[in-house]
Amino acid sequence: MNENENFCKAIEQAVVLPCAKEMQLISDEKCDFSSAYRRRIRRLTKDQDKTPHSLIKTTLQKMIFIIAAVLMIGSITVAAVPPLREWFVGLFTSSNDNNTDVWNVHVDIPADDLTDAFVYCEPTYIPNGFAEQGRTQEETMLIIDYSSNNEFIEYTQSSILTNNQIDTQNRTTEKVSINDNDALLSYDAYTSTIVWTDGRYSYTITGDLCKSDIIKMADSVNST
């Protein structure tokens, strides 16, 4: 399923179906409004044949028609309309006292719908003294391990559907920007973790490095 179809499915689930359900719940029966209320409605609408319920239904019908017309325009894609894309793809978090859950997509997208080839990206800046010790490269994931004496760093690139949970207990947590993308950074005096997305993949760096080094390392990832 291409990006247009993903967008259409998201609009259908988030807007069209709820509106259609609301229309079904609205009764066609006239309510027993007072005479004064009916006179006021007639003055406002200038249409004695329409009840308030029918006006609501007409508005919902127009809304669904407009949405359907937008979905039929094949040239409109989520990527081509950044404000629309931001409704569904981004950095979303939910926190408690001990950790923060991080995810990137607000609607359900089956993994089979992500048919684009996975393009591997990796950092070009490695903190001084660290060297690559090994990597795991799978169909939709890249993990690179770095070490320096007894210190370690792990870099992960994975599907945008990946959910992450980072430790925030007794740590400083803040939002930062990585290549103009929102990122969540958690750190203390010894270790740091950063999570972000470029709208196509999810990225994580964690290990024994300071705030400035982890941000510099994340910024060096040649993302799409």
pLDDT band (50, 70, 90) for residue 130:
very high
pLDDT tens sequence across 175-211: 999 999 999 999 999 999 999 999 889 999 999 999 9
Which residues 6+ apart lie within 8 Å of 187 measured at CB?
171, 172, 193, 210, 211, 214
Q: Residue 147: how many CA atoms within 13 Å on its side-chain side?
A: 6
- What length is written for the chain? 224
pLDDT tens sequence across 14-60: 555 665 655 565 544 455 556 666 666 666 655 445 454 554 555 55
Q: Where are the domains of the chain?
A: 3-71, 90-219
pLDDT value at residue 212:
95
What Cα–Cα distance (Å) separates residue 46 from each residue in 43, 57, 70, 148? 5, 17, 31, 79
pLDDT tens sequence across 99-110: 899 988 876 665
Cβ contact 145:135 at 8 Å:
yes
Residue of higher predicted confidence among 195 and 62: 195
Quote the crossing angle between the two packed helices 17-25 and 52-71, to the nearest 10°: 160
- C-alpha 20/C-alpha 57 separation (Å) is 10
In CATH, the number for domain 90-219 is 3.30.200.100
The token pair at 139 is 């169909």
pLDDT band (50, 70, 90) for residue 160:
confident
- C-alpha 154/C-alpha 143 separation (Å) is 7
Residue written as tokens 């993308």? 181
Q: Read off the pTM.
A: 0.61
pLDDT value at residue 92:
85
